[in-house]
Chain A
Amino acid sequence: MTPSGMSRIPLVRSVLLVVVIWCAASFIYAPIFSVLRFAFAPEGDIGLGAIGELAGSRRVRTAIVNTLVVTGLSIITVNVIGIFQVAVLEYLRVGGRGFLRFAFLTPLIFVSVAAATGYGFVYGQTGALTRLLQSVWPALPNDWFTGTLAVVFAHTFLLTSFHFLFLRAAIRRVDYSTVEAARGLGASNMEAFARVVLPVLLPTIFATTLLVTYKSLGSFAIPSVLGGRRFDMVTELILTLNSLRRPDMAAMLSIGLGLAVILCIAAMQYVERRGSYVGGSKTPVPVERIRISSPFVNLAVHAAAYAIAVIQLIPIALVVLFSFAPARSIATEVLPSSFTLQNYVTVFSQSTAFVPLKNSLVMGASATMAGLMISLFVVNLAHRHANVGTTSLDLSFMAPWILPAPFIAIGLILTYDEPNLLVANRVLLGGFWILPIGYAVVSIPIMMRFLRAAFFSLDPALNEAAQSLGAPAFYRFLRVTVPLVLPVMILIAGMTLNVILSEYSMSAFLFNVNNKPLSIALFEGARSANPEQAAINLVYISLIMAFSLGIITLADRYGLGGGK
């Protein structure tokens, strides 16, 4: 926007600016302040009593140990599986690549609480796979799939999405001529991979490792659903402390988690910056997938690839199959013997079954709309007028990116559990809107990243061309800028809605009877012995996956699958 365009609509813009600043103050700064205040000065006096009490609790200590152990193991297993998958898809010549590709992308559509309940459904006490395994090995206890084993297993096959997205992109940027050059100098295929390809991929592997660490540290839905008795991770403890009405301890623990996450992200940024010079050539020759010469190795690679694919596909296939099965066949059959649409009819016709879906859609849509408006305004402002003010506004809304959801949730609870002047002396806790506000706060950073990328990739000459053709600022924004970023905006909206549909962390803290979302319904349904409830869960999961698949296909077509 030129200076002249600015002066013409100062009022509208000032009003919007005030609204946006109010949003940042109320829903980002105030909650952060509340967390710090309750953690360090719950009674008004500064102290570290909460730390002592946390350290004194056996369950807190165990949860911290569990979180670290799970994260350590997950880093190893996720990397092994993830790197292998990428090698199979992009470096080795393996038959049935299309099928494997689909199987390996499923962690993108099978996420959070939906995936956790899906795994629980299949591997849990009455799960089809548990029954199948017991028919082979009768000694297997019903509850074999719990604790560290279950959580790490689920992480292993659910957190490979970062490898699928980023490592695959990185290996595609490898200049194959360097591999050929290495082989021309006498290196074997494997040596070439180890000495030429891998070093180029290392920064990306490190970055994805940090993302896995970040995800695993804050893992919530998976341990809640699959962890079982006496297995907690840190996020669950924060929720427990909150429900024990110990906001000071909850706040302190969420600060601990926040610090761990911030450390991770700082490391990631460092790697990103350092890794950027490993650019490869300007016109890279695409990597040619190599044929494995040893028939034994070849067989082993094929077997492993298909085994992983099967492990990833089976829960999804069973969830979808059983969602079309009569409720009574759940927990009694390994594969359904008959099919029906009844479960879907139930979800859409019974109000109790439909309400969570409706709640999530309403909250997701409003959070997405509000988030997009704020993001568009802030990004546009920062893009056109880079100065201290706009940059700090921009950074304010990016802040939740480095804060784990429980941190923000606790902050919102502590800020709005009593009348607050920021929101006209209302209490938000217990109301409908506190959860969508939380959703919006955590969604905005991602929206802003995408929108900023979209704005920066806009050719400024287009705007100038329109200007030299006589179009005033507002007309240009409307007819040139918006149509060009619209596909991105629609996609961002879809992806955000997709995330919110199965969002668990924020939901578990902020939901109440007025707004019980899909993820909480899924979580509660997962505990039910009632097959009708299980059937409804399967329909929810199938619907979430169908929606995700649609969004991801769309994103892929627009080349936005990168997620970053």
Chain B
Amino acid sequence: MIELDEVSVRYGSHEAVTPTNLRIETGEFFTLLGPSGCGKTTILRAIAGFVPVASGRITIEGRDVTGIPAERRGVGMVFQNYALFPHMTVAENVAFGLKVARKSGKEISRAVDAVLEATGIERHARKKPAELSGGQQQRVAVARSLVMGTRVLLFDEPLSNLDAKVREDMRHEIKRLQRDVGFTAVFVTHDQEEALSMSDRLLVINEGRAEQSGTARELYQSPATPFVCQFVGAANEIGPKVARALGLDAARRHFVRPEHVALAQAGDPQGVEATVADVDYLGSMTRAFLDVLGEPLQCQVPSGPSVDRLKAGMSVKVNLSRERILSFDGSS
């Protein structure tokens, strides 16, 4: 279990992370999600020990590690570019930590062989990192930490350097490893799809502040703040004219997800008048950009014969059901 108790981080006078509380269960796959520069990597680096905390306490498995240097925290880290030592072979990279710990040669080679096999890179043991594909490099990076018997692995946007296809594979790969080995994974990403698909729980961070934590479903269905609402999944902010037309409380902010915007034909008695400004055909889905009372609204509907007829300039009717509308206090 990793616990952050009122942890804050400062760079000079800039508070990069405001006091944050966080609890990550043992064996959990936990993701820190947020836009770039929001402080998610800073939190990760604070857990790893690369960034000193300005206040608060970090405990890992009950041990207070706040003042302990990185090399003695027993936390593994997988870097964005993997940070494999370019002058060492795969096997040497993996053996690095064991050598630091002054394990015997026999012990080292046994442990290295085992972890290389578990991660499926035993064939590449003698190669230098530069000879490996991105996916293989990532396995080495994970293996390098796992071999140490590390129970906590931190991932700093490790997939961002990969092609879309490999990326997908690697997501499953990391999940599989995490399940099989049973380590606690703390994963940093700005990619919400990645975060939603991989995590047991997530924390959404914005401008150094923890916005909301919970499972993917909780975050999507019941966002606690307008930011979470917009950042996790897509959301339209409903403009003042439409809000008035719908009779919504003008003092609050209202959002609706594109897939919850229902379209009807122009003659339909229900709904608000709208004009189609543009149409994006996405295969199974079609996205329409609408102009409602002079305010933009996106809508996403499954493709089909009636949807295929949508064209720019067409008049349609829009229906927004009240229970799909997410409302927040104006101040939040």
| B-binding residues in A (CB < 8 A) | 2-5, 459, 461-462, 464-472, 475, 479-480, 483-484
Contacts and interface: CB of A to CB of B under 8 A. Distances in A.
B80 A461 contact: yes
Contact of A466 (B72, B80, B81, B85): B85
Contacts of B70: 2, 464, 467-468
A470 B148 contact: yes
B100 A475 contact: yes
Interface in B299-316: none
Interface string B132-171: 0000000001001100100000000000000000000000
Max chain B Cβ within 10 angstroms of own Cβ: one of A462, A469, A484: A469
B292 interface: no
A484 B128 CA distance: 14
A471 B96 contact: yes
Interface in B74-96: 74-77, 79-81, 83-87, 96
A465 B79 contact: yes
Contacts of A483: 87
Nearest to A465: B83
Contacts of A2: 69-70
Report the interface size class on chain B. Answer: 20 to 34
Main SS of chain A's interface residues? helix
B217 to A, nearest CB: 33
Contact of B83 (A5, A464, A471): A464
A266 B85 CA distance: 39
A484 B52 CA distance: 27
B50 interface: yes
Contacts of A470: 71-72, 74, 97, 100-101, 148
15 contacts: A4-B69, A461-B79, A464-B77, A464-B79, A465-B79, A465-B84, A466-B96, A467-B69, A468-B48, A468-B49, A468-B75, A469-B71, A470-B72, A470-B101, A479-B96
Given A459-B81, A470-B101, A479-B96, 15 more contacts: A5-B69, A461-B81, A462-B83, A462-B85, A464-B77, A465-B141, A467-B50, A468-B48, A469-B144, A469-B145, A470-B74, A471-B71, A471-B97, A472-B100, A484-B86
Max chain B Cβ within 10 angstroms of own Cβ: one of A459, A465, A472, A475: A465
Max chain A Cβ within 10 angstroms of own Cβ: one of B48, B71, B87: B71
A5 B86 CA distance: 24
Nearest to B79: A461
Interface of B: 48-50, 52, 69-77, 79-81, 83-87, 96-97, 100-101, 141, 144-145, 148
B97 A469 contact: yes
A3 B51 CA distance: 11
A469 B72 CA distance: 9
Contacts of A3: 52
B312 to A, nearest CB: 33
Contacts of A464: 48, 50, 70, 77, 79, 83
B100 A471 contact: yes
Contact of B96 (A4, A469, A472): A469
A477 to B, nearest CB: 13
A470 B77 CA distance: 11
A484 B87 CA distance: 7
A10 to B, nearest CB: 16
A47 to B, nearest CB: 49
A5 B76 CA distance: 20
A4 B100 CA distance: 17
Contacts of A484: 86-87
Nearest first, the 10 closest Cβ-Cβ pairs linking A and B are A469-B97, A461-B83, A465-B83, A4-B69, A468-B77, A461-B79, A467-B70, A471-B100, A483-B87, A470-B100
Nearest to B86: A484
A303 to B, nearest CB: 45
A4 B70 CA distance: 10
B87 A468 contact: no
B76 A468 contact: yes
B77 to A, nearest CB: 4
A467 B71 contact: yes
Contacts of B74: 470
A464 to B, nearest CB: 5
Contacts of B80: 461
Contacts of B75: 468
A6 to B, nearest CB: 11
A466 B48 CA distance: 12
A232 B85 CA distance: 55
B166 to A, nearest CB: 20
Contacts of A469: 71, 76, 96-97, 100, 144-145, 148
A465 B69 contact: no
A317 to B, nearest CB: 41
Contacts of A461: 79-81, 83
Contacts of A467: 49-50, 69-71
A468 B145 contact: yes
B151 to A, nearest CB: 13
A467 B86 CA distance: 16
